Chain A
Amino acid sequence: MNFFDFWKQSRLVRKRELKGLIFVLPFIIGFFAFIFFPMMQSFIYSFNDLKFDGKVSLEFMGIENYKRAFTVDTDFRKLLLDSLSSMTVNVPIILIFSMLVAVFLNGKFPGQPVFQIIFFIPVIVSAGIMPNLISDDIIRRTIINAASATGEDTSLFNASLVGDLFMRMGLPNGFIEYIIYAITNILEVINSSGIQILVFLIALKAIPRSLYEASQIEGATAWESFWKITFPMVLPQTLVNVVYTVIDAFSNNVNPVMQTITDYNFSSFQFGYAASLAWTYFFIIIAVLCFFVLLIKQLMKHYN
């Protein structure tokens, strides 16, 4: 709507729209000042050689930085491919796992609240300076030793057991490998599922019970009512979780690509090059995210 239309409207409507503007304004100002503008700056940096000593001096060099990333820097290409492939594998595993746990946690059983707390622990332990604190010293060694001592044994045991079982069931090899991968990486999967479980749990609790009661009267099994009621009802939150999982996995500080970018930025001070890597990475994440979002959107269409 243009400015002229705006004034032609009644006073009341105008007041409402001004109110609306006031509601979004704090976010918009903050967003453009502290998120969008710095992003655009770094986009400019990516085409320059940048020196920074209190003041920025730029030296334009065209697409030299990008050329270097794609043709000279073989390490980066490899890292990029690695993180891309592990992502396409990990995102579905994390989503399925957190959905599973959320469905279980939504039921009634002894110690349910305790379990709910426990499943959020990784989010707390892995936040902020905790990893630094832990990584600096013996606690880390202790935890890692402990986790890998128990973790590896148990998961190897599980993996061979489950693999065996699936072989007997005559499932396709690719599927079996996927499941085994999921089981052997269970620690990593668990560690990145905290928020997703919480989001799914809220969605599950918001489903009206009457739907389940009705389907039960109709004689539907638990399996059927999961696919006919639960799954379609939590699809919007699945979308939230897909976006969150992709973001979390890609922008995590322990992600090798992120570490490389950080190194270029803060250790060797090649700011321009770091910016060009970040932008390359950014576009690749967008592609991955679009893929997953379109997938979920298709599912939502299917159910509507």
Chain B
Amino acid sequence: MSKIGSKSYRSVAGNIVVFLFLLLIALFMVLPMVFIFSNAFKPLSELFIFPPKLFPQNPTFDNFINLSSLLGDSWLPFSRYVLNSVFITVIGTAGNIIISSMAAYILSKKNFKGRNLLFQLVVLSLLFSSVVTAIPNYIIMTKLHLINTLWAIILPLLPSSIGLFLMKQFMDQMVPDTLLEAAALDGAGENRIFMQIVMPMVKPAWLTLLIFSFQGIWGTTGGVFIFDENLKTLPTALSNIVSGGIARTGVSAAVSLIMILPPITVFLFSQSNVMQTMSSSGIKD
């Protein structure tokens, strides 16, 4: 990394102002997170204190213990819900990235009739409110005999318009056509060009897409497609527990914490990778 950073000639005073500005905004943002964390460890009595305290006075694991005993009462082991959610999230996220990257590569680098039309359709579809497509979707799933299977949740998640859009824009900009032509002249096949040249070059883009689809899919409840208790997802199970009223306040605090931990982990993993790629690859210079 060169010593002359893009911002190194900003004055010290300017740096401090920027730092304080960021600190102020960061405080706003971190507040809900701090509350989710600390509420999970507050005893019931402290949860109802007004004005609320930022940190628990007598931290306990009561909420988690209550949660596990509540879950113990339900028909199925907790692991079943976790497994369903993990299955959906892993397949959905991976499929999302692979399918939209492959399509984005062709849309970005190949010329064919209808390319622009297809891309415009995809972008426009992003603007449509998915609420009213619930019934047509239900009918399609019935016709495909997928109602009450996890595939009814996964399949509609796979063609991600926003994923295609994001990947295409980054490929347009980050992958030079000349490089691909050179590789093709050297005899590299499409698979190789895609896997060994294009994807590594847009790694930051698909790592971002990874966070994006993970946190979206992780929260999926399955809605009307799933009736079988066996196939319900973690969010469904957890929101059932939480809907038990004000007595479940402590438990829902624990639930909130459990729900946000995986997306945060994925985010940390992906961002540290993005930073590594950025500083080691040739992208910078």
A interface with B by C-beta (< 8 Å) = 1, 16-17, 19-20, 23-24, 26-31, 33-39, 41-42, 45, 50, 52, 56, 101, 104-110, 113, 115-125, 127-130, 132-134, 136-139, 142-143, 145-147, 149-151, 154, 186-187, 190, 195, 198-199, 202, 205-210, 212-213, 216, 222, 225, 230, 236-237, 239-240, 243-244, 246-247, 250-251, 258, 261-262, 265-266, 271, 274-275, 278, 281-282, 285-286, 289
Could you say which of B103, B235, B267 contacts A26, with CB atoms under 8 Å apart? B103
B169 touching A133 by the CB < 8 A rule?
no
Q: What residue of chain A has the Cβ atom nearest to residue B243's Cβ?
A: A136
B11 to chain A, nearest CB (A): 9
Chain B residues positioned under 8 Å from A187 (CB to CB): 28
B36 touching A139 by the CB < 8 A rule?
yes
Chain A residues positioned under 8 Å from B268 (CB to CB): 117
With contacts A278-B131, A289-B127 taken as known, whether A107 is within 8 angstroms of B278 at the C-beta atoms is: no
Per-residue CB contact flags for chain B residues 93-108 toward chain A (1 = under 8 Å, else 0) read 0000001101101110
State the total of A-B contacts with C-beta under 8 angstroms.
Answer: 313
B215 touching A123 by the CB < 8 A rule?
yes
A120 touching B267 by the CB < 8 A rule?
yes
Chain A residues positioned under 8 Å from B106 (CB to CB): 20, 23-24
A125 touching B220 by the CB < 8 A rule?
no
Could you tell me the distance between the alpha carbons of A225 and B10 in the complex, rounded to whole angstroms? Answer: 12
Could you tell me the distance between the alpha carbons of A286 and B271 in the complex, rounded to whole angstroms? Answer: 33
Query: Which 9 residue pairs across A and B have the least CB separation, nearest first?
Result: A128-B219, A30-B159, A27-B103, A41-B136, A38-B133, A38-B136, A107-B7, A34-B156, A129-B235
A137 to chain B, nearest CB (A): 5
Chain A residues positioned under 8 Å from B278 (CB to CB): 202, 205-206
Q: Counting CB contacts under 8 A, is B166 at the interface?
A: yes
B284 touching A247 by the CB < 8 A rule?
no
Chain A residues positioned under 8 Å from B259 (CB to CB): 128-130, 133
Q: Counting CB contacts under 8 A, is B273 at the interface?
A: no
Q: Counting CB contacts under 8 A, is B75 at the interface?
A: no
Could you tell me the distance between the alpha carbons of A243 and B125 in the complex, rounded to whole angstroms? Answer: 12
Per-residue CB contact flags for chain B residues 203-231 toward chain A (1 = under 8 Å, else 0) read 01100100110011011110000000000
Chain A residues positioned under 8 Å from B199 (CB to CB): none
Q: What residue of chain B has the Cβ atom nearest to residue A226's Cβ?
A: B6
Kindly identify, within residues 67 to 123 of chain B, every residue whose CB is under 8 Å from any CB belonging to chain A.
99-100, 102-103, 105-107, 110, 112-113, 118, 121-123
Chain B residues positioned under 8 Å from A240 (CB to CB): 165-166, 169
B32 touching A147 by the CB < 8 A rule?
yes
Chain A residues positioned under 8 Å from B30 (CB to CB): 118, 121
Could you say which of A26, A42, A139 contacts B102, with CB atoms under 8 Å apart? A26
B267 touching A117 by the CB < 8 A rule?
yes
Q: What residue of chain B has the Cβ atom nearest to residue A263's Cβ?
A: B131
A35 touching B125 by the CB < 8 A rule?
yes
Further contacts, 7 of them, CB under 8 A, given A24-B106, A212-B4: A17-B112, A24-B103, A45-B132, A120-B211, A125-B260, A129-B235, A143-B35
B155 touching A261 by the CB < 8 A rule?
no
Pick 28 A–B contacts, CB within 8 A, sort by A.
A17-B112, A23-B103, A23-B194, A30-B99, A31-B121, A45-B132, A106-B7, A107-B15, A117-B271, A118-B29, A119-B26, A121-B29, A123-B215, A128-B215, A133-B252, A133-B259, A139-B35, A147-B28, A187-B28, A195-B208, A202-B274, A209-B285, A222-B9, A236-B172, A240-B169, A251-B128, A251-B129, A278-B128
A222 touching B10 by the CB < 8 A rule?
yes
Per-residue CB contact flags for chain B residues 261-280 toward chain A (1 = under 8 Å, else 0) read 00110011001001100100
Chain B residues positioned under 8 Å from A150 (CB to CB): 27-28, 31
Q: Counting CB contacts under 8 A, is B183 at the interface?
A: no
B4 to chain A, nearest CB (A): 5
